[in-house]
Structure 1
């Protein structure tokens, strides 16, 4: 939101210390959207409050900007995003995996290849295509991967094929579905499709559900959807009043909850936001958020080299079919 200078300040500092450039796009107050501009099928409900509509419109505005200005690709991040201090090295490996999955030629206009529509890097869970043979880019022994003990989201891919195993394994894959839009890249073709599905046709939904359907290529007959598991970016929750979290829901409804004593960045091992002081002082040594589960309790970002991935092919017969109880277990894999 335009009035959340606190969030903009923190993101600007994090980006500066990470060597990134960001452009802020104003969030949308749902009260400013006239009813005649609502999507045809949109209904305000308890589960989907007005804030969901404002969030949806904010993403639509980004896609429209891409079409108007002929922006070929964009990385979209929510305002509570945080990322790892090794994000550039992480994304270099994501690029290798993305190029492999697309069978990209040696020369492309984008380092991630040129034939993708959506690339999901921050989410709260995703599924893989377990009913068909699938290719993966597998990165083993990655110290930045969030440990299994901290993967509290319930929607998880089936990783029972032996080549996908490992608590420190990160995958680049073609997901079947995902939820949450912590961060994702979208091409101009993907933006055009999203506007068609979500703003022109009477099919609008909460934005993450709408984008998740783009990944269901068999249902929609189009699109190359890529993703990372676990996620590359996480969610920062600042210390203090929880009412200062997302503007998607009413702050007053959170006012009764106790203050958060310690800041946290969900789903990240070496978060930028929790290491701002060290980075600002020029220190290259940063600490793990979960030292008891870390491969390294601290790392030196000037010398650490992340492992390179390898191609893997999994046939559908290699997945173990999970029963309903297993699929819902907190730290188990879901299909």
Structure 2
């Protein structure tokens, strides 16, 4: 990761991972225990809470790594926001028209960040998302608290062809309604995997309380999902995401059992490394970059059959 960051001109601070075995059971929030939460999930939760605590302690305004048109007030017009379902989506019977990335409306200059004001989480790396929508009925129910607006970036050459965008089964058809090479920004729903996300000082405090103190009953990514979209015990907070994701797991060649300390990835052997959904992956081009070769190699070139990606 240090080599990849240096090769990308990214500067970051390390926050140590935590072994679940090293966390005392008596410090876990209700209703967590060593019996009902996997030991790997406990370590992951503790590490994420340490990151939130560092953000709060050091008064970072934005921590971790948009389209601000979904949440930033307009500079003119009858409506205050470009998305008429924001900030109150209740009673909406149809999703609003998509906002085109190349023709975004003018919004007021943000005060707190270049990504806009008023967001809690920018969820930029994940394993799958759903679009908030008014149909079908089950989707409408899950997204009843969520604004429905989307920003669509057409002809984004960094997005692979649809055949290489196969996610978990429940997200399989998410992007099929859009032309190839489309990237969509929307409010987060049904999120899994907290690979890369950004928080603000205010949202770090809320997450530290809601997930670090109030209750801990599921893996961290699912708790962050509930923090964003709301649940029976957690209220809604505005979280923006992008599909396909901008960051993803890199899977190196070697034993698959090394790919996670939380879930079982099997005992098989991966013959070739891969970073799914990322065309010009830094990690996949690291050797090329370090040897001074120009240009990045495209993992998923258009019109080339690469077979089944595993």
Q: TM class by shorter-chain length?
A: 0.7 to 0.9
Does 1:33 pair with 2:36? no
Question: Tell me, which stretches of 5 or more residues in structure 1 are unaligned?
Answer: 1-10, 77-93, 298-335
Offset at residue 68 of structure 1 (A): 1.0
Write out per-residue CA displacement over residues 167-200 of structure 1, whole angstroms, 9 at most, x where no aligned residue: 2110111123311111111112211111221122
- Answer whether contact 1:128 1:157 (CA < 8 A) is retained: no
Q: Who is 2:196 aligned against?
A: 183
- 1:13 aligns to 2:3 (yes or no): yes
Secondary structure, in 3 states, of the residue corresponding to 2:184?
strand
Structure 2: 5+ residue stretches without partners: 74-106, 135-143
Superposed, which structure 2 residues align to 1:90-101 within 5 Å? 94=66, 97-101=67-71
Structure 1 or 2: more helix by fraction: 1
d(CA) in 1 for partners of 2:30 and 2:71?
Answer: 37
Cα deviations across residues 39-75 of structure 1 (Å, max 9, x unaligned)? 22114458x5200110011001111111111111112
Q: CA RMSD in A?
A: 2.7
Length, aligned pairs only:
259
Match of 2:251 in 1: 237
Give me the TM-score of the superposition, normalised by structure 1.
0.70
Q: Is the 8 A contact 2:130 2:174 kept in 1?
A: no
For residues 221 and 247 of structure 1, do their structure 2 counterparts lie closer, same or farther at Cα, with a shift above 3 Å needed? closer
Q: Deviations over 1:306-335 (max 9, x none)?
A: xxxxxxxxxxxxxxxxxxxxxxxxxxxxxx
Contact 2:118 / 2:238 at 8 angstroms: preserved in 1?
yes
State which drifts further: 166-175 or 279-288.
Answer: 279-288
Alignment of 1:1-335 (within 5 A): 11-44=1-34, 48-75=37-64, 94=66, 97-103=67-73, 105-131=108-134, 134-150=148-164, 151-156=166-171, 165-217=178-230, 220-249=234-263, 254=266, 257-291=267-301, 293=303
Match of 2:83 in 1: none
User: In structure 2, do the counterparts of structure 1 residues 178 and 229 end up closer, same or farther at CA, with 3 Å as the change threshold?
Assistant: same
Report the Cα distance in structure 1 between the residues aligned to 2:24 and 2:277, rounded to whole angstroms: 37
What TM-score, normalized to structure 2? 0.75
